[in-house]
Chains A and B, each alone.
Chain A
Amino acid sequence: MTMRPPSGSTLSLQRIFGVPLLLATVTVIGLVSALLDDGFWDALSWATLALPMLVAAWAIWFRRE
């Protein structure tokens, strides 16, 4: 084992890609849903496709360090 500075442990791949993978899945659901039908399915696409932007806005403006 090489010597590593004790400044915090490294995150697992699951931890790193957990939220991005979830957002990508939600995005694909939204992209497909508006193709299926109008009404509810349109509204579902608006909400799901807006979610990544809401998450980014939260991280930039409201997240505590």
Chain B
Amino acid sequence: MSPGTIRKWSWVHKWSSLVCTAFLLLLCITGLPLIFHEEIEHLLGDKPEPPVMAADTPRASLDRIIAAGLARRPGQVVQFVVWDKDEPDVVIVNIARTLVEPFDKSQVMIFDARTAELLMEPGGHVGFMDIMLSLHVDLFAGLPGKLFLGLMGLLFVVAIISGVVLYAPFMRKLPFGTVRKDKATRTRWLDLHNLLGVVTVGWVLVVGATGVINTWADLLIQLWRFDQLADMVTPYAGQPPVGKPGSLDKAMVTAHAAAPGMRPSFVAFPGTLFSSGHHYMVAMRGEAPLTKRLIQPVLVDAQTAGLTDLRKMPWYITSLLVSQPLHFGDYGGLPLKIVWALLDIISIVVLGSGLYLWIARRGVSMDVRLAALAQDDQAVRAGR
């Protein structure tokens, strides 16, 4: 690599890193507790503990659960019914003032799936984990905040790639894993920055890139609405949206028949972001670690409970769904979460040492400049 090329790549590495480092440090630090959100919620008692019953206890009617939820919030509407893939004995109901209310404005109620009894109605106070999540996802700024963090993530990816390119000239004469402990502090930290950065580069690239994809979630769902959903509901064009949707229990029978062997992940009610004005969108999922995160939408007429259509999700929604576990690290048990957290801490060290290297070099170049000035002074004096 010629000195000119190296200079160009270091310019790219320096500026892409400098712009994103503060935000990436925030993302790494707030991401740390989020890795363990399930465990923390259990500890804080924010998760329901449904009573133990025989495994074959029949499920309660969903219509009964919905009625119980609406009775607690008269005049409001159900947006979603959700099943927790790790807690099969509960049904989660989202109720809000309007069908298009954002997630954080809706009331969550958690019911026992067998007795239709209300187990928990979280909310009211904003907890520690809510603050961590908002800082991590959108800086309390909604969609613009998400897209801004996505841009920072893209810069981070540029910083990683340019860092890998620069690794070559720096390591030209040093065997892999060299840490020059007897040299100046800056040299030692340069070696640590290079070593820790290069061994974790695969993980950091995947978590960074999937994080960027997650910031586009809202946009991708909108795209799906205009693309596939609009196409599936063309027969309903011009019809007024349903006022009061019919039985969800009947709609579920249709959905199960249309997607045999699958389980429901969630149901979007007619008029919400994930459905049309005339349908229950029943999102069915598989059983394996990957397929239980992918969804097969089944559109069921909300009045007649007849099947309207089912189509495979387009590639961009599937990419979004696959990118979620790869970003969260929640798909391989507690040991994977611990590994995730350790890699996250190493990333914090790489970010911090990168910042230190920049500050330390600025100091050096200033010293050099001062020394040069002093020499000039001497030369001037000698010339007199």
Residues of B within 8 A of A25 (CB): 202
The listed residue (A11, A18, A49) touching B339 by CB distance below 8 A is A49
Q: Within B142-181, which residues are at the interface with A (CB < 8 Å)? A: 164, 167-168, 171-179, 181
Query: Quick one: CB contact mask for A10-46 with B, threshold 8 Å, 1 for yes?
Result: 1101011111100111111001001111100110011
Majority SS at the chain B contact face? helix
Output the nearest chain B residue to A12 by Cβ-Cβ distance.
Answer: B172
Q: Say yes or no: B199 contacts A46, CB within 8 Å.
A: no
- A to B contact number (C-beta, < 8 Å): 112
Q: B325 interface residue, CB < 8 Å from A?
A: yes
Q: B366 interface residue, CB < 8 Å from A?
A: no
Can you offer 25 A-B residue contacts whose CB atoms are under 8 A?
A11-B173, A16-B167, A20-B176, A20-B198, A23-B199, A27-B202, A31-B203, A31-B326, A35-B331, A36-B288, A36-B290, A37-B288, A41-B289, A42-B333, A45-B336, A45-B339, A46-B335, A52-B200, A53-B199, A53-B343, A59-B195, A60-B192, A60-B195, A65-B181, A65-B182
**Cα–Cα, bound, A63→B191 (Å):** 13
Q: B129 interface residue, CB < 8 Å from A?
A: no
Output the nearest chain B residue to A55 by Cβ-Cβ distance.
Answer: B199
Chain A interface residue count: which class? 35 or more
Q: Say yes or no: A34 contacts B175, CB within 8 Å.
A: no
Residues of A within 8 A of B200 (CB): 52-53, 56
Chain B interface residue count: which class? 35 or more
**Cα–Cα, bound, A60→B374 (Å):** 40
4 closest residue pairs by CB, A with B: A59-B177, A27-B202, A34-B332, A24-B202
Q: B201 interface residue, CB < 8 Å from A?
A: yes
**Cα–Cα, bound, A26→B206 (Å):** 13
Q: Say yes or no: A49 contacts B173, CB within 8 Å.
A: no
Q: A6 interface residue, CB < 8 Å from B?
A: no
**Cα–Cα, bound, A50→B206 (Å):** 15
**Cα–Cα, bound, A42→B289 (Å):** 10
Q: Say yes or no: B179 contacts A63, CB within 8 Å.
A: yes
Q: Contacts A11-B173, A18-B176, A49-B343: A35 and B290 contacting too (C-beta < 8 A)? A: yes
**Cα–Cα, bound, A7→B203 (Å):** 35
Residues of A within 8 A of B172 (CB): 10-11, 16
**Cα–Cα, bound, A23→B202 (Å):** 8
Output the nearest chain A residue to B349 by Cβ-Cβ distance.
Answer: A56
Query: Quick one: CB contact mask for B183-209 with A, threshold 8 Å, 1 for yes?
Result: 000000000100110111111001000
Q: Contacts A34-B336, A45-B336, A52-B200: A11 and B179 contacting too (C-beta < 8 A)? A: no
Chain A min CB distance to B185 (Å): 15
Q: Within B293-333, which residues are at the interface with A (CB < 8 Å)? A: 322, 325-326, 331-333
